[in-house]
């Protein structure tokens, strides 16, 4: 599992844009800025939609006031789903990064098996602060929990 002080692995994310899906290399996305990244098991799922994403939308200005340059959400979903979820949640302040094949979740060692719910391999619920590509803070939830990966918890730690 990735840990504080590690460099973010250079996998690719995909973002939905007006021109269609656009690949984003992790090394480019995280370079030269401080990013608050959070991972959810799936777009449009109950806790993710009711609490996780909305918390970061609501606290975006407060996080930026604490030195965060960009806020990003990732999930093992495709770019179209991530884009639609971001729109439905009015998450214009959040970069919605699709990890459709789970390459990022695999590379950071934070996958979970959602097969029992028909979801297959997914990313765990976690959050991290990444400064210029290096993990500065890491908050990994216990299975079924939603505490340390929240926007409120991250704000307390900054």
Q: Is residue 3 part of a domain?
A: no
Q: What percent of the chain has pLDDT over 70?
A: 99
Q: Is 73 a catalytic residue?
A: no
Q: Is residue 6 part of a domain?
A: no
| Per-residue pLDDT tens over the stretch 7-45 | 999 999 999 999 999 999 999 999 999 999 999 998 897
User: Nearest Cα to 77, choosing from 26, 40, 108?
Assistant: 40
Q: Is residue 7 part of a domain?
A: no
Alpha carbon distance 25, 107 (integer Å): 13
Q: Is residue 132 part of a domain?
A: yes
Alpha carbon distance 10, 36 (integer Å): 17
pLDDT for residue 157: 95
Q: Is residue 1 part of a domain?
A: no
Question: Does residue 120 have a pLDDT over 70?
Answer: no
Total domains in the chain come to 1
Could you say which of 8, 16, 26, 48 is catalytic? 48
Alpha carbon distance 8, 74 (integer Å): 14
CATH of the domain at 105: 3.40.30.10
User: pTM for this one?
Assistant: 0.94
Q: Is residue 20 part of a domain?
A: yes
Question: Does residue 135 have a pLDDT over 90?
Answer: yes
| Per-residue pLDDT tens over the stretch 38-79 | 999 988 977 778 789 999 999 999 999 999 999 999 999 999
Strand order from edge to edge, sheet including 12-17:
20-25, 12-17, 94-98, 70-75, 34-39, 126-131, 134-140
Domain that holds residue 121: 12-157
Q: Is residue 60 part of a domain?
A: yes
Q: Is residue 68 part of a domain?
A: yes
> Which uninterrupted H or E stretch holds 96?
strand 94-98
């Amino acid at each position: 599992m990735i840990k504080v002080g590690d460099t973010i692995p250079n996998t690719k994310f995909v973002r939905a844009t007006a021109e269609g899906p656009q690949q984003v290399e992790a090394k480019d996305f995280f370079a030269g800025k401080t990013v608050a990244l959070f991972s959810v098991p799936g777009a449009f799922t109950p806790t993710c939609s009711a609490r996780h994403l909305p918390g970061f939308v609501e606290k975006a200005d407060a996080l930026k006031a604490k030195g965060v340059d960009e806020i990003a959400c990732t999930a093992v979903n495709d770019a179209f789903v991530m884009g639609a979820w971001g729109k439905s949640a009015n998450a214009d302040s959040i970069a919605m990064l699709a990890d459709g094949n789970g390459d990022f979740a695999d590379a950071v060692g934070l996958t979970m098996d959602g097969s029992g719910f028909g979801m297959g391999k997914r990313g765990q619920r976690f959050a991290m602060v990444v400064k210029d590509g290096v993990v500065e803070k890491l908050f990994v939830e216990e299975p079924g929990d939603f505490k340390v990966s929240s926007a409120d918890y991250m704000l307390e730690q900054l």
